[in-house]
A and B are shown apart, each in its own frame.
Chain A
């Protein structure tokens, strides 16, 4: 193996309509690990995933995946790169006009010339891995939120990717589905020998399953470390985030003028 890091992000900046989202952010994801990227809503976590997937282009710095700089790839190279990646979208993003079975078979049909029987076996294996073999003929609209997430997970690993990205895999799930999905992320990563990036703001669940954590705030990494290190961190921001305190370094109040002044009508 040429180097131990599957993903290296160096000094990457990105702005959206002149609003800076990422400011010279640095982070690395070692091979075979499950890494969480945490931070409040809108701090640029999803943007980071899109940069890795090449759906967005950074305005500075370099994003290296498996030794190749994503921003320098042409369209064909990008497509080849993406075939090594699987991604779970925020709300599953299952194809609503296809059955569960067809959703998982989709990439196999598009990218390979496998026999129908082999596709059938592969799809069933993936569904079995997420425990939904019995739901193969259902349509996405007939699934509960947790089931849909698991199907999406099965679809993300359909072609045995070397990198699996999860965009808010825990959002909107009940506690049981939450731990099911959490455990699946860990198990699938180890079983496939893949590398996983989990973007989330669900601290407790992700601390249980991940190897390493990056805390992102206002476009930069503010803290990093293993689950234990983060839990016991004394940094005020980390503490506020992990323990879910309403007020702290991240203020409760949106920046505003003095409250008393506003009420007394001294300023408009």
Chain B
């Protein structure tokens, strides 16, 4: 009996949170006019959210590509199709690894920074002060970060993919001796624009909305204490990582069912 009550309580809690976060999203969308009128606000946040995530994304992308190239070549070689390494690396990156890993890295690099920053602004009454100055914090603080995240993550994902494919290329062609022409042509003949590239891009946009929405939501609703902010930051990473993986499964099931 106790277990059922506990379960019900948890489910209720999650649903209520989901409701809050949806309402928050609607509020952000309604108050995005300021961002359109003053793109500089968004630009500033792209610097802090996007540009500052550049290094981690580029380096991780390169290493993922290198490792993927090595492992895939090793396995494919057993079936005598080592030349397919370009195809496998490109498909894996463009369809799955690129969007998912970039989003996870983005959540831990940029998402936490956003949550902590907004949480601190709340704890030090900066948001209240803004409200008292007749400036809506959602329009001035939250919405620019939200849009900057949505612009940044898909771009970062593209960069991650390119670095990964370059990594795969470096392993396959100079190191393992796969023919360069075959590497690219195999890849080109099996990677499709709308099925693979476009679907990957859609994924990364969806992940961007999820990650940045959770980040700003947790920051905006964090208790105004040091402990509250740190808890919110942790929760933002955990929640957004899990949402990325769950959303990825759902999206993949829809997108690649018939192929």
Q: Which residues of A contact B (CB under 8 A)?
A: 53, 55, 78-80, 82-83, 85, 87, 89-91, 93-96, 106-107, 110-111
**Closest chain B residue to A76, Cβ basis:** B134
Since A82-B134, A83-B134 are in contact, a sample of 17 more A-B pairs with Cβ atoms closer than 8 Å, ordered by chain A residue number, is A53-B131, A53-B132, A55-B131, A79-B134, A82-B131, A82-B133, A89-B129, A91-B125, A93-B125, A93-B129, A95-B121, A95-B126, A96-B124, A106-B133, A107-B133, A110-B133, A111-B134
Q: How far is the CA of A93 from the CA of B124 in the complex (A)?
A: 5
> Which listed residue, B126, B131, B134, B140, touches A96 by the CB 8 Å rule?
B126
> Which residues of chain A come closer than 8 Å to B124, judged between CB atoms?
91, 93, 96
B101 interface residue, CB < 8 Å from A?
no
Q: Which residues of B contact A (CB under 8 A)?
A: 120-121, 124-126, 128-129, 131-135, 140
A-B contact count (CB 8 A): 45
> Which residues of chain A come closer than 8 Å to B129, judged between CB atoms?
87, 89, 93, 95
> Which residues of chain A come closer than 8 Å to B128, judged between CB atoms?
55, 89, 93
Contact B125 A90, beta carbon cutoff 8 Å: yes
> Which residues of chain B come closer than 8 Å to A96, judged between CB atoms?
120-121, 124, 126
- The distance from the CB of A104 to the nearest CB of chain B, in whole angstroms, is 11
Q: How far is the CA of A79 from the CA of B140 in the complex (A)?
A: 14
> Which residues of chain A come closer than 8 Å to B126, judged between CB atoms?
93-96
Q: How far is the CA of A85 from the CA of B135 in the complex (A)?
A: 12
**Closest chain B residue to A158, Cβ basis:** B133
> Which residues of chain B come closer than 8 Å to A55, judged between CB atoms?
128, 131-132
29 A-B pairs whose Cβ atoms sit less than 8 Å apart in the complex: A53-B132, A55-B128, A55-B131, A55-B132, A78-B134, A80-B134, A82-B131, A82-B132, A82-B133, A82-B134, A83-B133, A83-B134, A87-B129, A89-B125, A89-B129, A90-B125, A91-B124, A93-B124, A93-B126, A93-B128, A93-B129, A95-B126, A96-B121, A96-B124, A96-B126, A107-B133, A110-B133, A111-B133, A111-B135
Q: How far is the CA of A89 from the CA of B125 in the complex (A)?
A: 7
**Closest chain B residue to A106, Cβ basis:** B133
Q: How far is the CA of A110 from the CA of B140 in the complex (A)?
A: 10
**Closest chain B residue to A79, Cβ basis:** B134
Q: How far is the CA of A166 from the CA of B132 in the complex (A)?
A: 12
**Closest chain B residue to A90, Cβ basis:** B125
- The distance from the CB of A89 to the nearest CB of chain B, in whole angstroms, is 4
Q: How far is the CA of A106 from the CA of B134 in the complex (A)?
A: 12
Q: How far is the CA of A93 from the CA of B120 in the complex (A)?
A: 10
B120, B126, B134: which has the most chain A beta carbons within 10 Å? B134
- The distance from the CB of A168 to the nearest CB of chain B, in whole angstroms, is 11
**Closest chain B residue to A78, Cβ basis:** B134
**Closest chain B residue to A107, Cβ basis:** B133
Q: How far is the CA of A34 from the CA of B126 in the complex (A)?
A: 25
**Closest chain A residue to B129, Cβ basis:** A93
Q: How far is the CA of A107 from the CA of B131 in the complex (A)?
A: 11
- The distance from the CB of B49 to the nearest CB of chain A, in whole angstroms, is 13
> Which residues of chain B come closer than 8 Å to A93, judged between CB atoms?
124-126, 128-129
Contact B135 A110, beta carbon cutoff 8 Å: yes
> Which residues of chain A come closer than 8 Å to B125, judged between CB atoms?
89-91, 93
With contact pairs A93-B124, A96-B120 given, residues A87 and B132 touching in the complex (Cβ less than 8 Å):
yes
> Which residues of chain B come closer than 8 Å to A82, judged between CB atoms?
131-134
> Which residues of chain B come closer than 8 Å to A106, judged between CB atoms?
133
**Closest chain B residue to A53, Cβ basis:** B132
Q: How far is the CA of A56 from the CA of B128 in the complex (A)?
A: 11
Q: How far is the CA of A78 from the CA of B134 in the complex (A)?
A: 8
> Which residues of chain B come closer than 8 Å to A80, judged between CB atoms?
134
Q: How far is the CA of A61 from the CA of B248 in the complex (A)?
A: 53
> Which residues of chain A come closer than 8 Å to B132, judged between CB atoms?
53, 55, 82, 85, 87
Q: How far is the CA of A220 from the CA of B81 in the complex (A)?
A: 84
Q: How far is the CA of A96 from the CA of B129 in the complex (A)?
A: 12
> Which residues of chain B come closer than 8 Å to A107, judged between CB atoms?
133, 135
- The distance from the CB of B41 to the nearest CB of chain A, in whole angstroms, is 11
